[in-house]
């Protein structure tokens, strides 16, 4: 007997840096965040992470908690996404990296090496980078807060222009809180 299909509810949210796609499940847990121009990648990540499940997408009938928190994030409340309930597929290692990403404070980017140290896997820098790149829940699981060893902006699934904008947005928020 094949497993019951799981339905994820899709919202398309306008942001200052493009139309964002947000997927939540029936329990209001956030499953994916991506950009409309990278929708193909989002579907590929979903197939990879949920390969044994039949995932169906439906348009959301009402605003999810994720949408409300992401709207607040883009309006300047960077911490609004910190407590959102998320659920992911992926391997145990990927989920470990993604949990660690949620511990990176807004406005305080770290390197891949520091992230590897935080999960007690200092020699797994490349694997950490690969897990970071497979993160299905951008912004909320803030993979954009990881930079190269020399603080350079390295790859971001939504494009480097978005990574730069997100980091600048968070830096402005931090500066405003300290003023």
CA-wise closest residue to 24 among 61, 64, 56: 64
Residue with tokens 């951008």: 138
* b/e map 18-32, b = 16+ CB within 10 Å: bebbbbbbeeebbbb
CA-wise closest residue to 46 among 36, 34, 60: 34
**Catalytic residue positions, numbered:** 143
């Amino acid at each position: 007997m094949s497993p019951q299909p799981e339905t994820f509810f899709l919202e398309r949210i306008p942001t200052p840096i493009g139309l964002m796609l947000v997927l939540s499940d029936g329990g209001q847990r956030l499953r994916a965040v991506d950009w409309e121009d990278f929708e193909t990648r989002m579907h590929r990540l979903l197939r990879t992470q949920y390969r044994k499940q039949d995932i169906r997408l439906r348009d959301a009938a009402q605003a999810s908690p994720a949408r409300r928190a992401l709207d607040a994030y883009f309006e300047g409340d960077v911490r609004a996404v910190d407590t959102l309930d998320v659920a992911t597929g992926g391997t145990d290692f990927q989920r470990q990296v993604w949990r660690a990403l949620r511990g990176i404070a807004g406005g305080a980017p770290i390197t891949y090496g520091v992230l590897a140290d935080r999960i007690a896997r200092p020699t797994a820098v490349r694997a950490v980078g690969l897990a970071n790149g497979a993160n299905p829940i951008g912004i909320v699981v803030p993979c954009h807060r990881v930079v190269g060893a020399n603080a350079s902006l390295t790859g971001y699934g939504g494009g480097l222009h978005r990574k730069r904008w997100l980091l600048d947005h968070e830096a402005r928020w931090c500066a405003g809180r300290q003023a």
